């Protein structure tokens, strides 16, 4: 009888603790502005190389194209990207460095060669992006605050660190996840209050002890342009090659 009573008592104690509500652990958002920016910079600097594959969609006022891609990148100065169309057909290869720009069209056997300035990149990719913006977008580094920007507000909202700046061109707003220290939302407006840039990241994964977003979207509303990157696989800090040699018989177009 005593054994039965003991078993019942033990059952009640175990049941009581197993039914107790589980406490949700929330990290307190109490870091200073300098600490937050330091953590963001630290995350970014840990990424030396990146290789990945997934789906990319480029939108413009003229058209919208989508396909699979593979990318190899060495920060901060080189990138090679392969675009594939339906059924995995090889469509184009893009090679970027600070000195050279190659865009080889496999279907037409043509190569566009030029310098990687904003004008050339916009004419080919239909994106209003500078060289560094393209490199940084693939690693989820979408924050763009300059030396001439002045801080208007620093706060914690909905468990995110939020920064608002006044810039010579207008205003900027930046939301940072305090666990991954990835910029999740960024918005820039001009001095007329019009939105000129929207950027979002989501679905972060820990890869090699570094948090990386697997979904990245950048939109330029005034130009009706945008790019969306959805990774299926990412590797970082492994040996990569960004070299590309286009066929000798290809038609060369200089920009």
CATH number at residue 39: 2.50.20.10
Q: Is the pLDDT of residue 190 over 70?
A: yes
DSSP assignment of 135-149 equals HHHTTT------TT-
pLDDT > 70 in the chain, percent: 89
Domain presence at residue 19: no
pLDDT digits (tens, 9 = 90+) for 37-53: 999 999 999 999 999 99
88, with CB counted inside 10 A (0-12, 13-18, 19+), is: exposed
Decide which of 51 and 15 is more confident: 51
Q: Is residue 251 part of a domain?
A: no
Whole-structure pTM value? 0.84
Q: What is the pLDDT of residues 79-95, one digit of tens each?
A: 999 999 887 888 999 99
Residue 6 within a domain: no
Neighbours of 12 (CB within 10 A): 10
* Domain contains 3: no
Task: State how many domains the chain has.
Answer: 1
Question: Residue 76, preceding bond cis, omega within 30 degrees?
Answer: yes
Average the pLDDT over each of 34-43, 126-135, 154-163 and give the range with the smallest value: 126-135
Would 205 be classed as within a structural domain? yes
Indicate whether 199 belongs to any domain. yes
Would you place residue 5 in the very low, low, confident or very high pLDDT band (cuts 50, 70, 90)?
A: very low
- Which domain range does residue 67 map to? 33-243
Structural domain contains residue 175: yes
* Interatomic CA distance for residues 225 and 61, integer angstroms: 7
Specify if 28 maps to a domain.
no
**What is the pLDDT, as a whole number, of residue 127?**
83
**CB environment 201-224: b (16+ within 10 A), e (fewer):** beebeebeebbbbbebbbbbeeee
pLDDT at 27: 60
> Does 32 score more than 80 pLDDT?
yes
């Amino acid at each position: 009888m005593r054994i039965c009573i003991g078993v019942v008592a033990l059952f009640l104690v175990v049941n009581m603790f197993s039914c107790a509500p589980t406490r949700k652990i929330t990290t307190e958002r109490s870091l200073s502005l300098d600490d937050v920016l330091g953590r963001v910079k630290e995350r970014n600097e840990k990424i030396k190389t990146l290789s990945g594959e997934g789906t990319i969609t480029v939108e413009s006022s003229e058209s919208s194209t989508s396909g699979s891609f593979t990318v190899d990148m060495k920060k901060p100065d080189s990138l090679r990207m392969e675009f594939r169309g339906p059924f995995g057909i090889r469509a184009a290869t893009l090679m970027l460095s600070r000195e050279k720009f190659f865009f080889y069209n496999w279907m037409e056997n043509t190569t566009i060669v030029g310098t990687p300035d904003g004008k050339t990149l916009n004419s080919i990719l239909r994106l209003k992006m500078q060289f560094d913006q393209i490199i940084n977008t693939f690693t989820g580094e979408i924050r763009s605050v300059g030396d001439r920007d002045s801080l208007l507000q620093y706060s914690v909202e909905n468990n995110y660190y939020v920064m608002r700046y006044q810039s010579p061109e207008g205003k900027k707003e930046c939301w940072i996840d305090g666990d991954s220290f990835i910029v999740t939302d960024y918005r820039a407006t001009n001095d007329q209050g019009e939105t000129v840039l929207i950027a979002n990241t989501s679905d972060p994964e820990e890869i090699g002890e570094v948090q990386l977003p697997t979904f990245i979207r950048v939109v330029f509303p005034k130009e009706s342009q945008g790019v969306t990157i959805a990774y299926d696989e990412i590797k970082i800090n492994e040996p990569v090659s960004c070299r590309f040699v286009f066929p000798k018989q290809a038609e060369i177009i200089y920009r």
